């Protein structure tokens, strides 16, 4: 994935293709996002959500962060939307439009969405106003990789090429180990809590 991006950014004429695809995926994502909230069919809404989440994953690829893109697919598409669809189909398998989806609290929802958009847009613009992505996103993160001098030159290059995946692993288990463990315990507690509530006999 990253190698594809590196390829795209090397020539000037190929950057055009990258831009075209960026706009294509951005438009698809936004249109699918609008359809999620306007469609009357709850299963269709969940399937449009898949397109939105896949579009976000594509944007991560364009930013050169492969790990975030794959995580997006695994967690959101592979787990959350599947559970969502599973739940919908177990509880109501009716085809066609569902009147319950269209509620009267539209105004409130729009207000919350607008506030959230404003907040996130402000913080993003404020935080990353002057940041420009480098030409080659592969070398975005400098990593120290242990150099094994026993191996041949070819292999040497292979292990020396730093990856953002390795960098993310190192940061999680070095700088952010306490928050990571706290979140793990929190999720475990939620899991056990759900089991306890569901098994009330």
Partner 1 sequence: MISSLSTVLSPVLAVEIPYWGQTSLRVLGGLVAILLPAGGLVYVYLFKMMSFMQSRLGPMEAGPYGSLQLLAEVGKFLQKEDIVPAKADRLVFLGAPFVVLISTFLLLLAVPFGPDAWFVDLDTGVYFAMAVSSVSVIGILMAGWGSSSKYSLLGGIRAAGQLVAYELPMILAVLGVVIQAGTLNMNEIVFAQANGEIFGFGGIGNPYILTQFVGFAVFLIAIQAELTQPPFDMPVAESELVAGYMTEYSGLRFLLFFIGEFATAGVFSAIAAVLFLGGWYVPFLEPEHNLYNVLGPLVLMAKIFGVAGLIFWFRFTYPRFREDQLQRLAWKFLIPIALVNIVITGVLKVVF
Interacting residues with partner 1 (CB under 8 A): 1-4, 6-7, 10-11, 14, 43-44, 47, 50, 66-67, 70-71, 73-74, 77-79, 81-83, 85-86, 89-90, 93, 95, 138, 151-152, 154-155, 158-159, 163-166
State how far the Cα of 170 lies from the Cα of 163, in Å rounded to an integer. Answer: 11
State how far the Cα of 137 lies from the Cα of 125, in Å rounded to an integer. Answer: 21
CB-count burial class (<10 Å; 0-12, 13-18, 19+) for 84: middle
Return the exposure string of 150-184: e unless at least 16 CB atoms fall within 10 Å of the residue's CB, then b: eeeeeeeeeeeebebeebbeeeeeeeeeeeeeeee
The nearer residue to partner 1, 102 or 155, going by C-beta atoms, is: 155
The nearer residue to partner 1, 125 or 195, going by C-beta atoms, is: 195
The nearer residue to partner 1, 37 or 167, going by C-beta atoms, is: 167
The nearer residue to partner 1, 56 or 164, going by C-beta atoms, is: 164
State how far the Cα of 171 lies from the Cα of 167, in Å rounded to an integer. Answer: 6
Token duo for residue 151: 């191996």
CB-count burial class (<10 Å; 0-12, 13-18, 19+) for 21: middle
Q: Nearest approach, Cβ of 131 to partner 1 (angstroms)?
A: 22
Q: Nearest approach, Cβ of 98 to partner 1 (angstroms)?
A: 12
Q: Nearest approach, Cβ of 194 to partner 1 (angstroms)?
A: 15
The nearer residue to partner 1, 82 or 116, going by C-beta atoms, is: 82
The nearer residue to partner 1, 92 or 106, going by C-beta atoms, is: 92
User: Which residue reads 């292999």 in tokens?
Assistant: 155
Is residue 89 within 8 Å of residue 27, measured between CB atoms? Answer: no
Q: Nearest approach, Cβ of 97 to partner 1 (angstroms)?
A: 11
Q: Nearest approach, Cβ of 111 to partner 1 (angstroms)?
A: 32
Q: Nearest approach, Cβ of 122 to partner 1 (angstroms)?
A: 32
DSSP3 helix / strand / coil % (the chain, rounded to 5): 75, 0, 25
């Amino acid at each position: 994935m990253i190698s594809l991006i590196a390829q795209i950014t090397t020539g000037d004429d190929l950057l055009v293709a990258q831009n075209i695809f960026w706009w294509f995926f951005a438009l698809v994502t936004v249109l699918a996002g609008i359809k999620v909230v306007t469609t009357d069919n709850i299963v269709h809404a969940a399937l449009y959500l898949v397109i939105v989440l896949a579009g976000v994953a594509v944007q991560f690829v364009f930013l050169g962060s492969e790990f975030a893109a794959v995580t997006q697919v695994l967690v959101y598409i592979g787990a959350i939307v599947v559970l969502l669809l599973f739940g919908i189909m177990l509880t109501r398998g009716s085809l066609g439009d569902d009147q319950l989806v269209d509620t009267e609290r539209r105004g409130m929802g729009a207000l919350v969405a607008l506030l959230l958009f404003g907040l996130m847009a402000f913080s993003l613009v404020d935080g990353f106003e002057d940041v420009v992505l480098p030409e080659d996103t592969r070398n975005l993160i400098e990593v120290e990789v242990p150099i094994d001098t026993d191996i041949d030159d070819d292999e040497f290059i292979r292990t020396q090429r730093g990856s953002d995946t390795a960098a993310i692993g190192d940061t999680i288990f070095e700088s952010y180990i306490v928050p990571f463990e706290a979140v793990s315990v929190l999720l475990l507690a939620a899991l056990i809590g759900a089991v306890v509530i569901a098994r009330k006999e």
